[in-house]
């Protein structure tokens, strides 16, 4: 079996708008100090990572990788 290294996936899946989601989680809310917002944001981000959404986004990453590999087999390399 030939297991040639093809690609290092470092992007986020198209359905995960990281900057928008994390920005909202970490934003200071009315009546919060910056320290309170940081503590709440850290807690909510960890809750997000343990939620079903994070597994859905992980599966989306795998789907995008497999789709790209399939496309490469059909039409060849982009470069």
Question: Which whole number is the average pLDDT over 16-34?
Answer: 95
The Cα 7–Cα 4 span in angstroms is 9
pLDDT higher than 80, residue 9: no
Nearest to 12 by CA among 65, 52, 50, 66: 65
Are 65 and 6 in contact by the 8 Å Cβ rule? The answer is no
Helix, strand, coil shares of the chain as percentages rounded to 5? 60, 0, 40
pLDDT higher than 90, residue 19: yes
pTM above 0.85, yes or no: no
pLDDT at 47: 96
Strands (E), the chain: none
Q: Which percentage of the chain shows pLDDT scores above 90?
A: 57
The Cα 41–Cα 56 span in angstroms is 21
pLDDT higher than 90, residue 68: no
């Amino acid at each position: 079996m030939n297991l040639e290294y093809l690609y290092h996936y470092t992007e986020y899946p198209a359905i995960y708008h990281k900057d928008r989601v994390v920005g909202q989680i970490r934003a200071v809310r009315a009546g919060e100090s910056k320290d309170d917002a940081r503590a709440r944001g850290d807690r909510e981000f960890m809750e997000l990572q343990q939620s079903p959404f994070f597994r859905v986004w992980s599966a989306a990453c795998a789907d995008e990788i497999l789709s790209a590999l399939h496309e490469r087999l059909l039409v060849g390399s982009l470069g």
